[in-house]
Chains A and B, each alone.
Chain A
Amino acid sequence: MPNSAIVRNPDWPSILKGYSALPGVPDELLREDGSVRPEWVSLIAHLEGLSPDERERAFARGAQYLRDAGVFVRHYGEEKSPRDWPMSPVPVIQPASEWKALGEGLAERAELLEEVVADLYGENRLVEQGHLPAGLIASNPEWLRPLIGVKPASGHFLHFLAFEIGRGSDGSWWVLGDRTQAPSGAGYALENRVASVRAFPGYYSGSNVERLASFFRGFRDGLNAMRREEGSRAGILTPGPMNETYFEHAYIARYLGMMLLEGDDLVVDDGRLMVRTVSGPKPISVLWRRMDAAWADPLELEASSRLGTPGLLGAVRSQGVTMINALGAGVLESRAFLAFMPRLSEVLHGKPLAVPNIATWWCGGEAERDHVRANAADMLIGPANSTSLPLEFEPGAVLRGDMSELGLDLDTWLASQGRNLVGQELVSLSTTPTWEDGGLKPRPMRIRVFMARTREGWQLMPGGFARLAATSRDPSAVSLRSGGTVADVWVVSDKPVPEDSMLTHTEDVFVRTSPGLLPSRAADNLFWLGRYVERAEGQMRLTRAYMSRLPETPAGGTPLMSRVEAYLDDHGLDKDEGVPDAIERTIAAAVNAANQVRDRFSVDAWASLADLERTVGNMRKTVLTGDDAASAMGVLLRKITGFSGLVHENMYRFSGWRFLTIGRSLERAIGMADLLSSFAEWSGPHGGFELCVEVGDSVMTHRRRYPVAASRDTVVDLLALDPLNPRSIAFQIDEIRDQVSLLPGADVNGQLSVLSRAVLRVQAELSVNTPQSLDQTKLVDLRQAIGLLTNDLHSQFLD
């Protein structure tokens, strides 16, 4: 019976006018009889109760959160990430009872996968007994031969899994793909949750939606429990900011309070894995990897990898580290496995799969090949060892028997390439509502769900990451190949659920943990972030000083303006550009450095830096030289000090902050020494002293401290020697000395480190000088000595 025939009563919600299930396809919102499923009733009522304005504002709040979090800022990568799709504000709602049953079924599937992968890297009995074709395994690029016979330290290969699921026409869940290598998306699910809570703040808190925090806490506690030696750590391994899901890695690391590490942060020392930190190498024994195995160790796996850690396999082999998941576990992602899973369940568990997967036939067998040939019109046929989902685009795959791309006929293809091909049934998927044109509209959807091995066994995340098709024209899974939106998944209990977040942890006694280790690479990036931000600020002040003088400069110029122009030129700043290109480049460098330590910044700090970058980009297109540029610089200066403020007000005062501060002070001291050596000559062009005071942002202080006009003495005193002026060189050197003395290794067995001694020398040199004795030559020498501190810092902490 088509749903459109249902006569609806007059209080049928107006937002549901125009919503009806597609024929022959189950709908998440509506029952077959056209009534609203109970778990949706209150959300629909809530939405119905909002005015169109309130609704738009609510949805905008969710979208705003994702924008502020920088979720939509895309970098470098060519590949599309799930975040190229905007968020649909309406969550997918699932009853807790059904989710519980799904979790039990998927736990069985997880166990089955564990047994299969353990066999493939162990005795290989499944192949020997003919349950898996030997040729298929041998040609699987993720069956990593150097790891065969290697037992994982934790005793398990799999700890964190994702399943791509969809609801088939019979109303039950089907697995479309198993994700066993390094599944991404859990962080996106977390963000979507924050966004959907923002969209429905009052509603969410009383809505019995199960919280995500306990799932992550259980997983994190499980990771920590696997640590091998006292004092060793668990960390997250990322391929770095070039990776399209790096944002998620940083997000998860921050959320779980775990170290975010790149391959270069790690070294292997006699079978133990160590993190290179500013306090020296520290042991790490659990790595949640977000990197494909092939790149993990250039010595034994992909030799060209620059992302990996040489010798990591040695540490794995000697059970010095547990990899989450084990290197090589990606072998199970090959779609051909779906053809064998039903049989493997019978063989290993003695029963059918609790959660079936999409019907798949390996074309290496004659009967299967015939079946695929006969039913090609309803199938997707593609490479057997591909890890793509049946709904993702892939070259070399054939949809509904259309052979036009391949240039040969189906029979020949199957006969010659059968062993390398699988056919997969094109299933139709259920629809769920999205918001469009002022009302709800049905869209086919699939969900990525996550399972973690915890101390209490496999746990299914009460939520997930849903993908909705762009249109409802084609309910088959392939319509999800392109475009569409993503949505949060709410698992709704019929009982109230306790409030929970990563911050509430009532069962444990409060313990103040020691601050985390600071990897050397992170310290390096923080140092340079400090320098670049300060450098950009200096460039802005200088540009402003020039641009604001420009309108009043006579046609032939003035000696001071010629001097400024030469100085700008020396510093790469183009005087003919309103917003010089060099400023944009410096900010890009700052963003790049910040991006590498993204796990260490608040959403607000990141948003403010991203905003600065965007503003500079926009201004470059419109701002003219002169007054326009001077006022633009004012705007930029307020924005950049906003970022510095957020960082310095909120960052925990430990090693990371110290490196950032040292970078800032060093850059500021260098900039000031530069400025003074160029403009504070005794006999320099008229106006040079005032320029120094202005660029040094000390106009007010100068006025207050000295009742006279700026002279060389007052300027050098205030900007170089006065230890109380936060813009002076002396102030920066004091700051650097304070921070360096608090860093690990400031002294070695009671003896000052090379860096400490070098800083002390600069400090002493400054303190014995007067404005008269600190002449231009000494300023140049001073600038050089400060610059050289970078080298000492590098060799002590960052190499």
Chain B
Amino acid sequence: MAMLYDIKLTIDYSFQTPAAGARQILHAMPLTLAGRQRLIAGSVDIDPEPAVRRDRDDFFGNRLTEMAFAEPHNNIVITLKARVEVTGGAEPGSASVDLPTLVKALEVETDLASRSPLHFLASSPYARPVEAIADWARSFARPGRQCGDIVADLGLALNREMRFDAEATTVSTPAAEAFANRHGVCQDFTHIMIIALRSLGVPSGYVSGYLRTLPPPGKERLEGADAMHAWVSAWCGPGVGWVEYDPTNAVFAGTDHIVVAYGRDYADVAPVRGAMRTAGGQTSNQSVDVIPVGE
């Protein structure tokens, strides 16, 4: 069933000492994906007005906004509004293949365009190989098992073993540590699953996006709905292509999931990447509302 959402994201930065020359890249605008979701309208407001602002697409086809501030500011507020229609999810169909077939398919791949699975196999800054994760993943690669099933089995097992804990980890906690302690947030769940799948030879990447804030009547509220969310995309062979699995909630991405950006890991798609010369500390607040329209 098609869903219509109004999304509002507010990011509020405060600097102890006014920061001159702040420069940021924002990755927060939902994508338009054929047969999946459509961006109907979207806007990004920045207060104060940056000296330079540029909107463009990155290598992976994600929309980004670059901003640079000339004057020192104590406070920067970014407000994104978007209306998105979501018509489908990203579950595996029936044409999935087993792992040896997948490996063969990748060997003959010559495409290096933005959605080529080849970008999502090698080590990346937040998803470097971890032996303990590879050992754990091996049991899911039983001979003859289809790739889509491996993704679902592995993701479900991870969800059961991990404890969601918003306080236990930070953006810079290594996946190995989050895995060893079996706790973390969506970002940790996602990186661990990416490392696990890549260790099996399954191309997998990081999806950043939004979740609907309030569940439909009678359903439980999803974890991660009050901030930007993250899940995994995995390539299951030329027939199936990319599927998306949300290990934090143990579901394939459906019409509750709204895609913002695809990347190899968090570093490629962090909602805000920034740099400034500032002596003091900074604090930031993020709030997200994803409201179904007309429900």
Contact = CB atoms under 8 A, between A and B. Distances in A.
Contacts of B122: 138-139, 141
Contacts of B24: 299
Contact of A299 (B54, B60, B273): B273
Nearest to A419: B107
B93 interface: no
Contacts of B112: 124, 127, 134, 137-138
Interface string B109-126: 111100010110110010
A146 interface: yes
A138 B123 CA distance: 11
B42 interface: no
A575 to B, nearest CB: 37
B51 A314 contact: no
A138 B60 CA distance: 13
B275 A299 contact: yes
A124 B114 CA distance: 12
A625 B267 CA distance: 58
Contacts of B34: none
A135 B106 contact: yes
A270 to B, nearest CB: 5
B58 interface: yes
A269 B68 CA distance: 9
Given A145-B59, A299-B273, A299-B275, A311 B110 contact: no
Contacts, number: 69
A311 B58 contact: no
B208 to A, nearest CB: 15
A141 B275 CA distance: 23
A622 to B, nearest CB: 43
Contact of B25 (A138, A264, A299): A299
A135 B25 contact: no
A67 B115 CA distance: 55
Interface residues of A, number: 29
Given A139-B121, A139-B122, A311-B68, A127 B110 contact: yes
Interface in A251-288: 264, 267-271
A300 B119 CA distance: 17
Contacts of B110: 127-128, 130, 134
B274 interface: yes
A303 interface: yes
| Top 10 closest pairs, chain A to chain B, by CB | A310-B275, A139-B122, A138-B118, A145-B59, A310-B23, A134-B110, A298-B275, A311-B23, A270-B52, A135-B118
A135 B104 CA distance: 12
Contacts of A364: 107
Interface in A277-320: 298-300, 302-303, 310-311, 314
Given A138-B116, A138-B122, A148-B59, A267 B21 contact: yes
A299 B274 contact: yes
Nearest to B109: A134
5 contacts: A138-B121, A145-B60, A145-B119, A146-B59, A270-B52
A138 B119 contact: yes
Interface in B253-270: 267, 270
Contact of B118 (A128, A134, A264, A310): A134
B114 to A, nearest CB: 9
B58 A146 contact: yes
Nearest to A144: B59
B91 interface: no
Contacts of B119: 138, 145
Contacts of B125: 302-303
Interface string A30-42: 0000000000000
A642 B241 CA distance: 73
Interface of A: 124, 127-128, 130, 134-135, 137-139, 141, 145-146, 148, 264, 267-271, 298-300, 302-303, 310-311, 314, 364, 419
Contact of A135 (B121, B270, B273): B121
B98 interface: no
A306 to B, nearest CB: 10
B66 interface: yes
B25 A300 contact: yes
A134 B111 contact: yes
A303 B78 CA distance: 21
Contacts of B23: 268, 299, 310-311
Contacts of A419: 107
Contacts of A268: 23, 68
A141 B24 CA distance: 24
Given A130-B110, A138-B112, A303 B267 contact: yes
A108 B165 CA distance: 59
Given A270-B52, A303-B267, A310-B23, A135 B109 contact: yes
A729 B62 CA distance: 63
A276 to B, nearest CB: 10
A145 B116 CA distance: 13
Nearest to A420: B122
B93 to A, nearest CB: 25
Most A CB contacts (10 A, CB to CB) among B23, B111, B125 go to B23
A303 B273 contact: yes
A25 to B, nearest CB: 39
B66 to A, nearest CB: 7
Contacts of B273: 299-300, 303
Contacts of A298: 275
Most B CB contacts (10 A, CB to CB) among A128, A135, A298, A302 go to A135
Nearest to B279: A799
Contacts of A148: 59
Nearest to A130: B110
A134 B54 CA distance: 31
B107 A270 contact: no
A134 B58 CA distance: 20
Contacts of B59: 145-146, 148
A380 to B, nearest CB: 22
Contacts of A146: 58-59
A142 B70 CA distance: 32
A135 B107 contact: yes
Interface string B60-83: 100000101010000000000000
Interface in B179-238: none
Nearest to B203: A138
Given A138-B119, A139-B121, A303-B273, A270 B111 contact: no
Given A128-B110, A135-B121, A310-B276, 20 more contacts: A124-B112, A130-B110, A134-B109, A134-B110, A134-B118, A138-B116, A145-B58, A145-B59, A145-B60, A146-B58, A270-B51, A298-B275, A299-B25, A300-B273, A302-B125, A303-B125, A303-B270, A310-B23, A311-B23, A311-B68
Contacts of A269: 70
Contacts of A138: 112, 116, 118-119, 121-122
A757 to B, nearest CB: 23
Nearest to A318: B54
A313 to B, nearest CB: 10
B54 to A, nearest CB: 8
B66 A314 contact: yes
Contacts of B277: 264
Contacts of A134: 109-112, 116, 118
